[in-house]
Amino acid sequence: QQQVKQSPQSLIVQKGGIPIINCAYENTAFDYFPWYQQFPGKGPALLIAIRPDVSEKKEGRFTISFNKSAKQFSLHIMDSQPGDSATYFCAASGRNNFNKFYFGSGTKLNVKP
């Protein structure tokens, strides 16, 4: 049973569009939610992360929105570019073991020129 559920599985947008990737969790012990970006042939790399004491975090064109009551969080990419084409993973770790991370199933994003 996947601890973090991610959707959609794939996403195609035009350059300049705003792709949105959604994740949901059930374990209320989770309290750290990073997003990872993976380019083909590479390992994932940390993109941005949020803790549930804030509802939004922005770094450049990437924004995480967090809804604690719904146990959902999402990644928005503003003004998307072809270079953003990659696979994105949400993840979660918890207070009881903050070094153990659970990942979503991934979203393959294709930004068309």
List interacting residues with other proteins (CB under 8 A): 2-3, 6, 9, 32, 34, 36, 41-46, 49, 51, 89, 91, 93, 95, 98-106
| Residue 17 vs 106, nearer CB to other proteins | 106
- Minimum Å gap between C-beta 57 and other proteins is 10
DSSP letter for each residue of 23-91: EEE--TTEEEEEEEEE-TTS--EEEEEE-TT-SEEEETTEEEEEETTTTEEEEEETT--GGG-EEEEEE
- Minimum Å gap between C-beta 67 and other proteins is 18
